[in-house]
Chain A
Amino acid sequence: MSQYNTDTAEPNEVDIWLKETFQKVYNIEVLYRFNRNLTEVARDVAPPKLDRVKPMMEAVLNCYIKPYERVAGVKFIKTYCPKQYVLFGSVLYNSNNSVVLGTADAGRQVTLYDVNNFNVYDVNSDNGVKRKLRTIHHEFTHILNQNVIIPTEFVEVTKADYYSDWTNSQNTETVAKSLGFVSRYARMVYTEDFAEMAAHLLVMGQGWFDSYVASAPADAQTKLKRKEEIVVKYFNTAFGIDFRALQKEIMLEFNKYLNLSAMIDLNKINRITFIPSAPHYTEYGISDDFNTMWTNYKNGMSEQMPTGNRRYPQDMYLSFVSNKKMTIYVNYLNNAQTSTLQAAYDFDIDVDVPSGEITIVKSAEEGTTTAHNNGKNFAFVKSYFDDYMYPYFHNKVFVAAWLPEQIQASDPLYGMYGGIYEKGNPTNYFYGPIQYK
């Protein structure tokens, strides 16, 4: 009957590469040529661009298959990896206009959508390597769960707060976080919660997760840490996988994509966050000069008289709005300590990328957003900014760097943290987890 094979195509370079790399080694078939029957048959989905197929599958190989192979062994990955990958160029639309980025069917097939927007040079954005790999790891966690079920104690942690209508506008990121979920989608059902937890821990990294936890309310912190503990234990008891080692392997692969230079390019950075309770400050330390400034600022505001004026600073971040503008945001609790408000202050900056030098000067004119207006409240808020934060930053030259110094280029955490130190006075520095543009 082979003479009647009605669906054949001449193998091209991509086909040959896929066959040699995936089919021969792992028994994985990768289908990228459009076939309506491999997705929702009645919906419209665009096919992938030919030139995105190889980079997409290279990322799958490097940041998913290889790390598992190194940590859990060849037999493990050959046994459990999905046997068919299907690629589509666009997202898949649901009837409510929400979109599907990936699906895993019966532990056998993983379908990846939106491959046309995949961009290896843009590691952290929505179309970058990390976002796509989060889908891959999310789907693979489902496959693992189909082989060894999720421990019941995981289901108990946030049992009351699962919410199947997770795209509802009421389920904001803030709400999901305050209830002890790692993402909005995690609220859907416990199986998705487990997959989201594992995927975020593996792809976003421990540093990201710790900061996420540190910025959550106390009750949510406990729940998130409990879930983390169960996930780590599950990988070990169910499959004998050292989850921490796996995390490291994956991080090192991402850092190759980041192609981190010795210098930080501030123009590529969205924000650097300081959350005082975050564990990295315990592990790697904190600059005395900065800590003194923050403590004075915080205590000044939260111990002022009369007591009705008191506001309670929690954390802050530097937002690099453009190569000429930086805004400092401070999150603080209101007097009743029932809600979080933001104060914002604009600075003019001048960035010299080759040397990493950044000159910071307070902007003459303040912004007009709600946060900026909060920041102008002289009695409660602004006077403390004027006394402590303003002299710390204003009219100074800092140097951008991968801080803390203990994290060297060979470390999987390299690239996760960064900050600025005062030029000529490197013991005065500010650092935290980086959010890239």
Chain B
Amino acid sequence: MKYKILIYILAIGAVISSCRKVEVENLFYDVPEARMKDTLEFIRNTLVDAPYGWNAGIGTTGKGGYGFYIKFRADNTLEMLSDYSEESSNTAQKSTYRVSALSVASLVFDTYNYITLMQDPVPGVAGGTAGSGYKSDIEFLYRGHSGDTLFFEGRKYKNPLILVKNTQEEEQALVNDGYKQYMDAFKNVYYNQYDFVYLDADEYLVSIELDIVAKVAVVSIVDKTDNSLVSIQTTPFYFTYGHINFIWKILYKDKLITSIKYNIDNQLKLVASDKTEVDVDNQIDPLYTIESAFAYNKPFKRILPNAVPGVVANEHIFTKIRELFAGTGRVINTMYFAFTNSTNAVFYIGYSSGTSNFVASATYEYRRNGNKLFMKRVSIDGGNNWSTRATEVAPANALFGSGEEKEFDIEWVLSEDGSVKYPIAAIRLTSDPQNMLYGKLGE
């Protein structure tokens, strides 16, 4: 009985204490729901409150950057143009959008438009991989604002979406085919007047290569004392009317470089976040030495098989081998030349015949002295396929031999084609320099 009373007393005590409102200091100005509502309303109102629309840019994980002109309306519809293609630059697309609370306040492009092209998982639509496309988002989490700019981040792939209010002039240009006009004009200046573009930062150089098709910029830091490659980074970029905007900023001295443009004299200018402009320098040859970039223990170990236009040589060996395989109904899926370690190199071909996959590869032993290379074939791997496909791999054998040691020179070669803006590595046979393996470098 005593215990029962005790329990009653405790229970009543608990009830009383749980009924009492605990006075805690409200750290924020209101309850979470109200604060979320405020943020959503702020974004909704800001998006609509841009009389000349927005200039938007996204980065993708699977390809480069993309630019958009977007006009948001209060009825949850929008109109859009994009630098994605010629058609998208002059054909406005309508869709819906909404600003809603996912995990945080978010902007969702909830029916199809140009931004969803990159997110579409079907490769036949824009490109990319089956199941993920260019690995991009259509749900963007709000991350903050600054002046006339809103910052969002992709929900799944974490790429930025940057929205900047247009001026009347910018809007006029963009809706009158501005994307295409500016892209064409920029290409014309960059392709015809520049080779390797860089900034001189006293102790080091910042090299910037733009791949206008993929819309990715390669930014390399080069040590000025010996012209060696120190580091490489990439950033997607997108077009606006008047600029190419980098998704990730480039550090140069005490400035943050945000975009690149050309001026009235057709000179390229970099633009920093404080709106100051920086002149760029240009030279014909790559900025860093090939031995600092291309070796088994350097950033680039491989020569990639993609065709490079405008190089003078007997033939592009990778393309020739691809053609020979295709002639027998076989499709090459992977192909490269690589320095695998300090003594071995490999010529690798992964191909398929029907639904079966095969590998034909040859391993070479090499000695390297600066840019002199002495190399001989020591084995063939992946079964006997290098021998059974002897006719198809003949161009590789004609250069690298089938066992005898040969002497080569490793050097940069230049392309006469203005659209090629990356360094081209070549392994030339010393006794016959036009017989060479050349291509873009890969990691």
Contacts and interface: CB of A to CB of B under 8 A. Distances in A.
A12 B131 contact: no
A53 B40 CA distance: 27
Contact of A7 (B74, B101, B119): B101
Most chain B CB neighbours (cut-off 10 Å) among A9, A36, A97: A9
A412 B110 CA distance: 39
Interface in B108-123: 108-112, 116, 119-122
B245 to A, nearest CB: 25
A91 B116 contact: no
Contacts of B355: 169
A44 B138 CA distance: 10
Interface in B24-43: 33-34, 36-37, 40
B37 A93 contact: no
Nearest to A91: B122
Interface stretch (B91-99, B159-167, B294-302): B91-99
B98 A9 contact: yes
Contact of B98 (A7, A36, A46, A48): A7
B131 A43 contact: yes
Interface string A99-119: 000000000000000001000
A3 to B, nearest CB: 7
B286 interface: no
B344 interface: no
Contacts of A33: 96, 98, 108, 110-111
Contacts, number: 95
A112 to B, nearest CB: 15
B409 interface: no
A48 B125 CA distance: 14
Contacts of A90: 120-122, 125
Interface in A48-69: 48-50, 53
Contacts of A44: 119, 121, 131-133, 135, 156
A47 B112 contact: yes
A12 B96 contact: yes
Contact of A9 (B76, B94, B120, B156): B76
Interface of chain A, main secondary structure: loop
B: contact size bracket: 35 or more
B111 A47 contact: yes
A32 B111 contact: yes
Interface residues of A, number: 30
A46 B119 contact: yes
A1 interface: yes
B40 A6 contact: yes
B88 to A, nearest CB: 14
A4 B37 contact: yes
A244 B125 CA distance: 41
B139 interface: yes
B112 A116 contact: yes
Given A10-B74, A90-B121, A91-B122, A47 B116 contact: yes
A225 to B, nearest CB: 36
A93 B130 contact: yes
| 5 interchain residue pairs of minimum CB distance | A6-B101, A93-B131, A33-B110, A4-B33, A49-B112
Given A35-B110, A49-B95, A90-B122, 20 more contacts: A3-B37, A6-B101, A7-B98, A7-B101, A9-B76, A9-B98, A12-B96, A32-B111, A33-B108, A33-B111, A43-B121, A44-B121, A44-B135, A49-B111, A50-B112, A53-B111, A89-B112, A89-B116, A90-B125, A169-B355
14 contacts: A4-B34, A8-B100, A9-B98, A10-B75, A12-B96, A33-B111, A34-B109, A43-B121, A44-B121, A44-B133, A44-B156, A50-B94, A89-B112, A90-B122
